[in-house]
Chain A
Amino acid sequence: GAGVSQSPSNKVTEKGKDVELRCDPISGHTALYWYRQSLGQGLEFLIYFQGNSAPDKSGLPSDRFSAERTGGSVSTLTIQRTQQEDSAVYLCASSPFQATDTQYFGPGTRLTVL
């Protein structure tokens, strides 16, 4: 079946612009996660959704970052007023229920802020 998909695959934007990153999880997966992978920082957790609720937003680095999930499926990560330090690969993952299950990752969105 189809895996986790993310769009766009690459995004180049100017500093100060807003961007939206999209994640389509595996059908039927109730848990969805956003991670960020940047040079020198490794892979870090951003936010976790169970259904449409986000019980853990502890990894969002600032209030410029927000995410939502609708219909228990698609999720959008929004970064407002982008900064150069936001440049990274943003990865989305889903799992059937919770983090004790295997997490399946999408290919990521590479964001470059000029």
Chain B
Amino acid sequence: KQEVTQIPAALSVPEGENLVLNCSFTDSAIYNLQWFRQDPGKGLTSLLLIQSSQREQTSGRLNASLDKSSGRSTLYIAASQPGDSATYLCAVTHGFQKLVFGTGTRLLVSP
């Protein structure tokens, strides 16, 4: 059974810091990995999708890497801003149809 774990569970940083969120998964037979953000009371917003054949994806201040063989992904956020405060979820596509989600990292960026 695929299990996805995220570390840390919560993170609080001052504005401007660079930070790394970690995601690990137990079964390397994935098709892709997605990073989402979730704001309180709202749905999920897709940030980055990395196909299993790729090593990284970048969007603005965000960079996600994937090491499929070791079952790890990281989300790097550069020059964090208060607007980055949210819960960040990673999810792997497993069994070809469904996303298996991690437990999430709750990020707070203080002004």
A interface residues, Cβ below 8 angstroms from B: 4, 31, 33, 35, 42-45, 48, 50, 55-56, 59, 91, 93, 98-100, 102-108
Contacts and interface: CB of A to CB of B under 8 A. Distances in A.
A33 B93 contact: no
Given A43-B89, A56-B95, A102 B101 contact: no
Given A91-B44, A102-B49, A107-B43, A43 B101 contact: yes
Given A98-B96, A99-B31, A105-B36, 20 more contacts: A33-B99, A35-B99, A43-B99, A44-B101, A45-B99, A50-B97, A55-B97, A98-B97, A99-B32, A99-B93, A99-B97, A100-B31, A100-B32, A100-B93, A102-B46, A103-B46, A103-B99, A105-B43, A105-B44, A105-B46
B96 A99 contact: yes
A98 B49 CA distance: 14
